[in-house]
Structure 1
């Protein structure tokens, strides 16, 4: 039995390098379906008025997908076919969009200021591409007001029938506080399905088991399995990280802990090294499962 989730942050997926990526887009979709269970489109930036950008490319505006018509503006016109291929007949079963990144707190303040329009734009991604959730990559000041903002936006995600994931690298009390507030304000139903814990770059010193213990010690979050709730992530070759043997070693330290999945940072790193003989997404997916010893449990249900 393979670990779940085996997630990957799709850095500009099906758009990075447009129109001539290092690995053809159709091949990317095929390779991701050989072990990856969860693809997280990174990063969605939210501009004033609620428009959604995929990195620097306009993606959704006023409830309409913006496709490229001149090779430079809008997203790859093959996006629907590629996402359909991604979500059909392979290992991928979840497609999320991730909002934010380091130094982009304006994504969240713009979202808060245009909540209704952002909800419409997310609903379009839901109906067009079948997204199942929204990942919060918030890296800000972690104030009380920030916590209120994240909780409000998480509730908006839940109102669409989507789930949320949080992507922390620090400020554990902030994130567990968000969990408790979401649970309390959503009729004691948790919208957040798991935490993608960054264990690279600024989060390189994080201990996944410690984060699981902190979740367990926080009352009234609605999280019934704190260890499965923590999904650690490590960087790959091409993204200032390591090869599959390194990834397997990192997850081997967590075998038997109750942690059941992991994520990879990020797809463009893999696809940039692959043409030179580097490993594929499947190699990294196998490394996560092998490291955890494939000792997995079912995910807890999430009511949104």
Structure 2
């Protein structure tokens, strides 16, 4: 008479344990390390296939690189005109494709639009447009970035300023963008730490929630720990995937995982990013998007 009762009790305990284990796994999935990927032309030109690749990749943030601002306020995605006179004029199918990025099943929960790059004057142009027209609802900056927001559904503006470094106009633009629904304003520095410190202090931590520190090209040798201390926030360092002649330059998924693990130990990082999807596509045999996302996840978890 006792054995059936014991077996019933044991089965109940195991069933409860299974539920607890499932809940724990779900909680870990919800708290998995964040990972971002920058991408250029393929994110616009490769149709639904690239959206599906990103959804299945494991990356949690997709950064559209790069939006360029022309002197008349026109917005280009790289060299393609997409916003003019307050209207989206790009590929009619792109907004709908972007919306699928967050549709389950997917790893993506955030989209950012990046402004700037090496060798361009986007932030200088933004400052000139603010000086001539302001940031109010009638200004060309306001109307065009409102149209961009509607088209992309972006959650944040990513500041890839590599030449201008002026706090006042940049902060004015960031506040305008926040009013348009870009709830966050993120940094992508490689140098000039004092500018980023001053801009962060001006905007506050509620608006600036990510610092994507470049650890490649001009940012090679950057120490996430010193940037974390200077800005008072966790740093998400980034590396350049395999690229170049013979795909021999840059980091493999294995070296990304190793470097991320080292930075987790020295700087307490909880995420990282990869530059650049375009190169991953060209060097797919050296590591695809899923392999790089997994490397970040393994290195920072």
Partner Cα distance (1:133, 1:103) in 2: 23
User: CA contact under 8 A between 2:124 and 2:164: conserved in structure 1?
Assistant: no
Partner Cα distance (1:13, 1:135) in 2: 19
Gap regions ≥5 residues in structure 2: 1-27, 130-134
Partner Cα distance (2:216, 2:60) in 1: 21
Of Structure 1 and Structure 2, which has the larger fraction of its residues in helix?
A: 2
User: What residue number does 2:6 align with?
Assistant: none
Q: 1:150 to 1:4 in 2, by over 3 A?
A: farther
User: What residue number does 1:149 align with?
Assistant: 169
User: CA contact under 8 A between 1:43 and 1:99: conserved in structure 2?
Assistant: yes
User: What residue number does 1:238 align with?
Assistant: 243
How many residue pairs are counted as aligned between the two chains?
A: 256
User: What residue number does 1:27 align with?
Assistant: 49
User: CA contact under 8 A between 1:9 and 1:266: conserved in structure 2?
Assistant: yes
Partner Cα distance (1:99, 1:81) in 2: 22
SS of equivalent residue, structure 2 residue 39: strand
Larger Rg belongs to: 2
SS of equivalent residue, structure 1 residue 192: coil
Compute the displacement of 1:85 (Å): 2.3
User: CA contact under 8 A between 2:185 and 2:209: conserved in structure 1?
Assistant: yes
2:147 to 102, 124, 140: 124
User: CA contact under 8 A between 2:34 and 2:297: conserved in structure 1?
Assistant: no
TM score, norm. by length of structure 1: 0.79
User: What residue number does 1:299 align with?
Assistant: none
Compute the displacement of 1:78 (Å): 2.8
The 5 Å alignment of 1:219-298 reads 226-227=233-234, 230-238=235-243, 240-256=249-265, 257-274=267-284, 277-292=285-300, 294=301
Q: 1:139 to 1:6 in 2, by over 3 A?
A: same
Compute the displacement of 1:141 (Å): 5.1
User: 1:189-220 CA distances to partner (integer Å, 9 max, x unpaired)?
Assistant: 6311111110000000100111101123xxxx
User: 1:113-134 CA distances to partner (integer Å, 9 max, x unpaired)?
Assistant: 3342122222222223311110
